[in-house]
Amino acid sequence: MRASDLLHPRPEGLYCPPGDFFIDPVRPVDRALITHGHSDHARSGHRSVLATQQTLDIMGLRYGEDFAGTTQAARLGETIALNGVCVSFHPAGHVLGSAQISVEHQGTRIVASGDYKRQRDATCAPFEPIRCDVFITEATFGLPVFRHPPDTQEIARLLKSAAQFPERSHLVGAYALGKAQRVMRLLRDSGYDKPLYIHGALAKLSEYYQSQGIDLGALQPATVEGGKEDFAGAIVVGPPSAFADRWARRFPDPISCFASGWMRIRQRAKQGGVELPLIISDHADWDELTATIKETGAEEIWVTHGREEALVRWCELEGIAARPLHLVGYEDEGD
Ligand SMILES: [Zn+2]
């Protein structure tokens, strides 16, 4: 069977005609398979959703329990037949619950990896390379300029600054699902054992991570009502959007930090008023993308959401067939 007959883009998202399902559809559909809980991939309103239990839990927390008509949990590595098409979920190393989805039919296997990274992350299961005929890769950071430093090195810079300016607070902007919890866990693994103060938007998801056995240590609400009057010396974590509003003004002489792969671009940090950019990304950098493509052994690569052209060109130079998928509607909230 031709790969493009097994999966191809439609306005709703990536569609499998023989299986009659979509992967990460951006509009409501009958049957959706969902790679992870970021809002551009996991939307509410589908008639049925198949995803890992953690992704289903996260969707329930974000949208309410009635986010879909019916749900089914996919166990990692387990094969599920959908109209004769074999699908299975495998860890993607992106955020808690994130999975690649393998779709196999009549001897052709395509792996849709969703978003992924290869750097170690104590808050989710590590990416597993899956041998396949066609590998669908993201390309958020698909340019050779993007090389993420070790995350421990970035956290060490944050702790050094906190030690240097004990009278100031450090406000760390980090996306609510995945990045925030990863930053907190990295701080704990670096020996930081004081309470961390969090914006209300992070509370439910952080509590869920803790319930799944990911120890984030003592978390306290970053509110004056929470009992703390003086945030001098505190590390406060909140979603990037909160830092522009009144919420941020309660902290004494704050140092603005932002944990994102985009912080590799100095100009971007400067424009955003970020004093301490932390290059911590939940997406693969250039080296991870190219190494992963080789590891899958795929003869053909389909590239989506991001810098598609450079990665397609790299594949061609390596003698691997490649093309951009031109899926629309993905603007990842968790970069
Ligand atoms: Zn994502």
Give the DSSP H or E segment for 318: none
Cα–Cα distance measured from residue 173 to residue 277, given in angstroms and rounded to the nearest whole number: 10
Distance 114 CA to ligand 1 centre (A): 7
Distance 163 CA to ligand 1 centre (A): 32
What does the pLDDT read at residue 200?
Answer: 93
**What's the predicted TM-score (pTM) here?**
0.95
Distance 106 CA to ligand 1 centre (A): 30
Q: What is the mean pLDDT of residues 282-287?
A: 97
93 Rama class: left (phi>0) / alpha (psi -120 to 50) / beta: left
Structure tokens at 25: 């559809």
Reply yes or no on whether the pLDDT at 207 is more than 90. yes
The band of 227, judged by pLDDT with boundaries at 50, 70 and 90, is low
Residue 327: closest CA among 63, 114, 20, 73: 114
Q: What is the mean pLDDT of residues 183-194?
A: 98
Distance 1 CA to ligand 1 centre (A): 30
Reply yes or no on whether the pLDDT at 201 is more than 70. yes
Distance 32 CA to ligand 1 centre (A): 16
Cα–Cα distance measured from residue 173 to residue 158, given in angstroms and rounded to the nearest whole number: 12
Domains of the chain and any CATH numbers: 3-145+283-324 (3.60.15.10), 151-278 (3.40.50)
Strand order in the sheet with 68-73: 8-10, 13-16, 21-23, 31-33, 46-51, 68-73
What does the pLDDT read at residue 326?
Answer: 81
Distance 286 CA to ligand 1 centre (A): 17
Reply yes or no on whether the pLDDT at 334 is more than 70. no
Distance 270 CA to ligand 1 centre (A): 24
Reply yes or no on whether the pLDDT at 56 is more than 80. yes
What does the pLDDT read at residue 224?
Answer: 67
Q: What share of the chain is helix, strand, coil (3-state, %, to 5)?
A: 30, 25, 45
Distance 115 CA to ligand 1 centre (A): 5
Distance 229 CA to ligand 1 centre (A): 35
The band of 66, judged by pLDDT with boundaries at 50, 70 and 90, is very high
Distance 51 CA to ligand 1 centre (A): 14
Average per-residue pLDDT in the chain?
94
Q: Which of 100-104, 149-153, 190-194, 239-243 has the lowest mean pLDDT?
A: 239-243
Q: Over pLDDT 70: what percentage of the chain? A: 97
